[in-house]
């Protein structure tokens, strides 16, 4: 008695179901074509070419989704990742509302976050970061944009300022604070950006200079000392004085007032309009050495704000 031959996977299965095999081939082809837009942004292709590709349904592919085009928001994320400043400028200048809108779910799952701002901080795209902040000031619906928490599933609700402190981006810290980001914002764990820096100083002696630069920038915008780790500083002053220095520790826990220079800078910075920062800081009639200006980014084709 002959036994039935079991069905084999692979080529036999495709021969038995040619329609399924054809669909798989088409799916692979769609995936390949959709990658071409990402690759074109990565290769810094001209803006006109990228816009032609973005607005063609051919170049967008997503499982079980109808054909559509890439949104300005999704394209801006690609431009940030690959530091395509000219394309970022184009998107922000011509599609301000749409470019800073939430991208599709495959890019971000939390509708209350600010993924473009967080991405610019994460990849240290200071030119694009500054442009995003200026555009956000001009949009009435983005007044709280700088203080939006990140994805609760991936980033514990950290704001872009938390992220800048975590990654030791001192210039991004200054840009965000000068543009109105709150130094008192808390993440899901109740940590302020100051707590993030203090925790890093406590955990490791690496990159102490960068950590203290972030700390100094934060303190210029914090006339009130409210942070979660304050009790830790009060309970272990000897240990913390080795980390921070006696004077700074005494100021943080309220034993001494702030130094006169810090008080003066706090009051000056509080008077500067956020929508004009950092230009307003640069115009102050004080010595350049006293201005905590962010360092200019590396040259790669400047963004010009419209």
CA neighbor of 303 nearest in space, from 164, 190, 134: 134
Tokens of residue 289, six digits: 């050495």
CA neighbor of 80 nearest in space, from 30, 113, 114: 114
What is the value of pTM for the model shown? 0.83
Contacts with 40 (C-beta within 8 Å, 6 or more apart), sequence order: 49, 50, 53
Tokens of residue 263, six digits: 């008080």
Name the one residue in this structure whose structure tokens are 């050495």.
289
pLDDT in tens, 197-243: 999 999 999 999 999 999 999 999 999 999 999 999 999 999 999 99
Cα separation, 9 vs 18, in Å, equals: 13
Please state the domain extents for the chain: 26-107, 110-283
Tokens of residue 99, six digits: 């470019």
SS3 assignment, position 248: helix
Statement: residue 50 has pLDDT above 90: yes
Cis before 91? omega within 30: no
pLDDT in tens, 165-183: 999 999 999 999 999 999 9
CATH code for the domain defined by 110-283: 1.25.40
pLDDT in tens, 109-128: 565 578 999 999 999 999 99
Is the torsion defined by CA of 156, 196, 100, 269 positive or negative? positive
């Amino acid at each position: 008695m002959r036994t039935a031959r079991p069905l084999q996977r692979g080529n036999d299965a495709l021969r038995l179901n040619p329609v399924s095999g054809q669909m798989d081939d088409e799916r692979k082809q769609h995936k390949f074509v959709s990658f071409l837009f990402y690759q074109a942004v990565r290769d810094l292709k001209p803006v006109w070419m990228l816009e032609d590709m973005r607005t063609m349904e051919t170049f967008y592919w997503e499982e079980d989704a109808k054909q559509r085009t890439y949104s300005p928001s999704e394209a801006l994320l690609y431009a940030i990742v690959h530091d395509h400043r000219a394309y970022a400028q184009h998107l922000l200048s011509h599609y301000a509302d749409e470019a800073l809108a939430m991208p599709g779910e495959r890019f971000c799952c939390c509708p209350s976050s600010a993924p473009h701002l967080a991405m610019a901080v994460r990849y240290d795209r200071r030119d694009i970061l500054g442009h995003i902040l200026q555009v956000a000031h001009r949009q009435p619906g983005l007044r709280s944009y700088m203080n939006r928490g990140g994805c609760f599933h991936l980033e514990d609700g950290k704001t872009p300022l938390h992220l800048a402190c975590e990654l030791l981006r001192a210039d991004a810290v200054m840009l965000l604070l000068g543009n109105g980001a709150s130094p008192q914002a808390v993440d899901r764990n109740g940590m302020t950006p100051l707590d993030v820096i203090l925790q890093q100083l406590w955990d490791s002696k690496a990159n102490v200079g960068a950590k203290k630069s972030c700390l100094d920038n934060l303190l210029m915008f914090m006339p009130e000392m409210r942070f979660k780790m304050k009790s830790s500083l009060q309970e272990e002053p000897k240990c913390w004085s080795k980390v921070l220095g006696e004077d700074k520790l005494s100021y943080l826990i309220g034993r001494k007032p702030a130094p006169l220079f810090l008080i003066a800078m706090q009051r000056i910075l509080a008077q500067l309009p956020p929508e004009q920062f950092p230009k307003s800081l640069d115009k102050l009639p004080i010595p350049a050495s006293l201005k905590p200006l962010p360092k200019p980014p590396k040259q790669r084709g400047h963004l010009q704000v419209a």
